[in-house]
Amino acid sequence: MLLAIDVGNTNTVFGVHDGKSWVNQWRSATDATKTADDHAAWLWRLADMYGADLKKINGCVISTVVPQAVFNFRNLARRYLNIEPMFIGDPNLKTGLEIRIRRPEQVGADRLVSALGAHKAYPGNLIVIDSGTATTFDIVAGDGAFEGGIISPGINLSMKALHDAAAQLPRIAIQRPAQVIGQDTVSAMQSGVFWGYIDLIDGLVRRIKAEYGKPMTVVATGGVASLFEDASETIDVYDQDLLIRGLLEFYRLNKKG
């Protein structure tokens, strides 16, 4: 069994794969100060609740965009699973992708994993949109090469900045407003945030396609991407498991024996 861990800036996802399918997935808030013991106590309690036997785990793969968290997650695998984990970005491991950009070392681990997962699941040229702390648009060629992309602030980050910078603007929930023109402060903010991000997505996708000059499939993933699925004119498919499947592909690519 495999334990796959995706450490994002906001949330951390733990997935258990039995060789055929994902049998368990759990999510927690990312906190780089949590020790290996903290993670183990939380993980084992959830495993007990769902009847999962973590003693059967014999592989571990980790993607993290939080460098401070590496030490504790490595200790989690070593101390509690007796496994040396694979880390996305380790130069000794294969990525499964050719990286065709000027500075390959600058590509985040999460972007490479999502690109690999998307290439294995969908044919042809792809735009992979990941809506998290940042909203990223990554280009994956039909042959599996990573060819660059766009990074913009995520919707939650933008909402927080709006609230923090303007004393009279409240914190609001992200939701699709009933109409575009707001009739009060909250509905005006919701419209600006929601439809602003829809137009950000659709506008950038159209610009990417015009510049790329070839047919492309648009795949969206990430914590808030499902909110945009029905409103966007350019998203072809929403796939919430894209990154965790990419971790599985990376592990299979580098597994010995």
Catalytic residues, by residue number, are 110
Q: Per the structure block, which two tokens stand in for 41?
A: 């106590």
The C-alpha R_g of the chain, in whole angstroms, comes to 19
Q: Per the structure block, which two tokens stand in for 28?
A: 């927690």
Can you tell me whether residue 54 is helix, strand or coil? helix
Among 224, 220, 215, 225, residue whose Cα is nearest residue 236:
220
Q: What is the DSSP letter of 214?
A: S
- Angle, helices 242-254 vs 109-121, to 10°: value is 90
What is the C-alpha to C-alpha distance for residues 40 and 37, in angstroms, rounded to an integer? 5
Q: What is the DSSP letter of 99?
A: B
Beta strands in the chain, from DSSP E residues, in sequence order: 2-7, 11-17, 22-29, 59-64, 86-87, 126-131, 134-140, 146-153, 217-221, 237-238
